[in-house]
Amino acid sequence: MKPLEGLLVLEFSQFLAGPSAGLKLADLGARVIKIERPVKGEACRQLSIKDLYVDDSSMLFHTINRNKESFAADLKNPEDLEQVKKLIVQADVMTHNFRPGVMEKIGLSFDNVLKINSKIIYGAITGYGDKGSWANKPGQDLLVQSLSGLTWLSGKSIQGPVPFGLAVADLMCGNHFVQGILAALLKRIKTGKGVLVEVSLLESILDVQFEALTIFLNNGGKLANRGNVRGSAHAFLSAPYGIYETQDGYLALAMGDLLLLGSILEVDLGKYTDKKSWFRSRAAIRKILSKKIIIQTSDYWIKALRKKGMWCEKVLNYQDLNSKAFMDDLQLRQTIVYTEGETMTTTRSPIQIDGTILSSKKGAPKVGEDNEKIYEQFLSN
């Protein structure tokens, strides 16, 4: 039995943060119904990566919205809104990521909804919270990364700000949203009352930086220095931490005994016997290591380093990764079936419960695909 079986979630959220949370809840067993505007549906249906579409909707949409149902309704049409309200009466959770004020205008604010469902878990995602001068800025991932200070942690100093190459603020915010919603469900069990859950992209991306921010708060406000050596991987960690080019690729070295590393690589690190110098002189040390590591292949070094217990790994690309046996053995791919029997391959939930992988073959719905069924079950009387 999946842990959230029996829970009904209505998803008014669009794009990535909210819907990625909806996907996690769906994989954990909840029934998730997307409330979408008729015909066009959720905006993400038209947002594609590399122009990849699988039907009328982008592959991106299909990746984020598998294992959900779709109920098409126009919230500006009074009849449709009535139906949506009837659905809300029977729902456990509803989520949205409209800008502050939008749900109030429609009449679906938390206070409005409490009047028709006193036990609702009401989840709202914003970009920057609902207070202050940033509240109405667009809640977009790259912009949030840029404002939050995150861009000064990756790459090397000469590059200026380097953003994370994935929508990390959206995704972490989605993860926090799931935590908040699940905690709210536990609170509801105790109080019997509805609960409001709020997260924002900005707070989530700040939370991701809790280590770096805590250092900044306690070191007299000094900014991080990434150093200026290629392959730098962490502004606050000592040598050898980083990525190094080899004769035929790249390898990563995590934290470890630098002097032992020196003896394996047969380089002279005699100047660096004081552990404190591993941080202060990390640029110089990493240059020495780089010069040596490039003259042999990745496999050569990995073998030599692992034998002595050094923490290292080959840097793979998607083709290398996809050819690894563990991709099959751990069932890291799953095939989903969308409308009319067509299939696509995607990833799966990262959480296992009772030794069982939370897989699901159900693909993303077409706009309004489940209207009839939902009408029958929830709205016909």
Partner 1 sequence: MKPLENYLIVDFSQFLSGPSASLRLADLGARVIKIEKPGTGDICRSLYTSDLIMNGESSIFHTINRNKESFAADFKNESDLKTIKKLLTIADVVMHNFKPDVMQRVGLSYDDVKAINPNVVYAEISGYGNHTDLKEHPGQDLLLQSLTALTWLTGNQNDGPVPMGLSIVDMLAGAHLAQGILAALYRKAVNNFGALVQVSMLESAIDFQFETITTFFNDGGELPVRTKSNNAHAYLGAPYGIYKTKEGYLALAMGSISVLAQLLKCDELLQFPENKFALRDKIKVVLAKHLKTQTADYWLSVLEPADVWCAKVLNYQELFKEEGFKVLDFVQKATMGDGYAYETTRCPIKIDGELFTSGKGSPKLGEHNDKILEELMHG
Q: Which is nearer to partner 1, 29 or 292 (CB)?
A: 29
Q: Which is nearer to partner 1, 260 or 353 (CB)?
A: 353
Q: Which is nearer to partner 1, 85 or 230 (CB)?
A: 230
Give yes or no for a contact between 195 and 188, defined as CB atoms under 8 angstroms apart: yes
Residue with tokens 């805590």: 214
Q: Which is nearer to partner 1, 151 or 371 (CB)?
A: 151
| 326 is a contact residue toward partner 1 (CB under 8 A) | yes
Catalytic residues: 170
User: Per CB under 8 A, which of residues 348..377 are in contact with partner 1?
Assistant: 348-355
DSSP string, 212-275: HHHHHHHTTSPPP---SSTTB--TT--TT-EEEE-SSSEEEE-S--HHHHHHHHT---GGG-ST
Per-residue binder mask for partner 1 (CB under 8 A), 306-325, x = binder: -----xxxxxxxxxxxx-xx
Per-residue binder mask for partner 1 (CB under 8 A), 265-284, x = binder: -----------x--xx----
Given candidates 10, 87, 91, 252, which one binds partner 1 under the rule CB under 8 A? 252
Per-residue binder mask for partner 1 (CB under 8 A), 27-66, x = binder: -xx-------------------xxxx-x----xx--xx--
Per-residue binder mask for partner 1 (CB under 8 A), 92-111, x = binder: --------------------
Given candidates 115, 192, 210, 266, which one binds partner 1 under the rule CB under 8 A? 210
User: Per CB under 8 A, which of residues 147..206 are in contact with partner 1?
Assistant: 147-149, 151-155, 159-168, 171-172, 175-176, 178-180, 182-187, 189-191, 195-200, 202-204, 206
Q: Which is nearer to partner 1, 81 or 254 (CB)?
A: 254
Question: Which tokens belong to 346?
Answer: 């995607």
Q: Which is nearer to partner 1, 193 or 373 (CB)?
A: 193
| 1 is a contact residue toward partner 1 (CB under 8 A) | yes
State the DSSP H helix or E strand holding residue 342, giving kind and residue range, or none if neither. Answer: strand 342-346
User: Per CB under 8 A, which of residues 220..249 are in contact with partner 1?
Assistant: 221, 223-224, 226, 230-237, 241-243, 245
DSSP string, 263-311: HHHT---GGG-STTHHHHTHHHHHHHHHHHHTTS-HHHHHHHHHHTT--
Report strand pairing: 250-253 vs 242-245: antiparallel
Cα separation of 289 and 226, whole Å? 17
Q: What are phi and psi of 144, to 5 degrees?
A: -65, -45
Question: Which tokens belong to 199?
Answer: 């997260």
Question: Which tokens belong to 131?
Answer: 């207070």
| 212 is a contact residue toward partner 1 (CB under 8 A) | yes
Give yes or no for a contact between 294 and 244, defined as CB atoms under 8 angstroms apart: yes
Give yes or no for a contact between 364 and 66, defined as CB atoms under 8 angstroms apart: yes
Give yes or no for a contact between 233 and 156, defined as CB atoms under 8 angstroms apart: no
Given candidates 109, 112, 140, 371, which one binds partner 1 under the rule CB under 8 A? 140
